[in-house]
Amino acid sequence: MRKGVRIAVGLVGAFNILVGLGFLIDPAQAGLRFFLVSLGTQGLATMRADFTAFFVTGGAFALLAAWRARRTPLLVPATLLGIAITGRVISLLADGAPARAFPPMAVEAVMLAILALAWRQFDPEARA
């Protein structure tokens, strides 16, 4: 079970890193997959910087957690995904609920569930 959880967390990490690299390499195209359109070079720079940072950071810490089977690195991707899902819920309440709003939430919820399962399976950090 633990090995399977490590693999699942590793897949979450790899997926997020690939999404982040997509924003780094081609922010305009990656943005379209997220229903975003940039406004000029500064918009592209913002997408390239902020979205790459979000996804690569979360993915890297998920990979670190999977590699070491330690739970503390899971706090980073879990916090990022938790804030993202919270923002989506607020948006649904404020702006309405189009059908296309739910697939990204489902993906984030599945990733959060995997990270929560890993939290239970992985070892706590050793205390000094």
Strand residue runs (E) in 39-117 = none
Place of tokens 């996804």: 55
pLDDT tens-digit profile of 65-117? 999 999 999 999 999 999 999 999 999 999 988 888 899 999 999 999 999 99
User: What is the distance between the alpha carbons of residues 2 and 27, in angstroms, rounded to a whole number?
Assistant: 36
- Residue 128: is its pLDDT beyond 50? no
pTM of the predicted model, to two decimals?
A: 0.90
Q: Closest Cα partner for 12 from 58, 53, 54?
A: 58
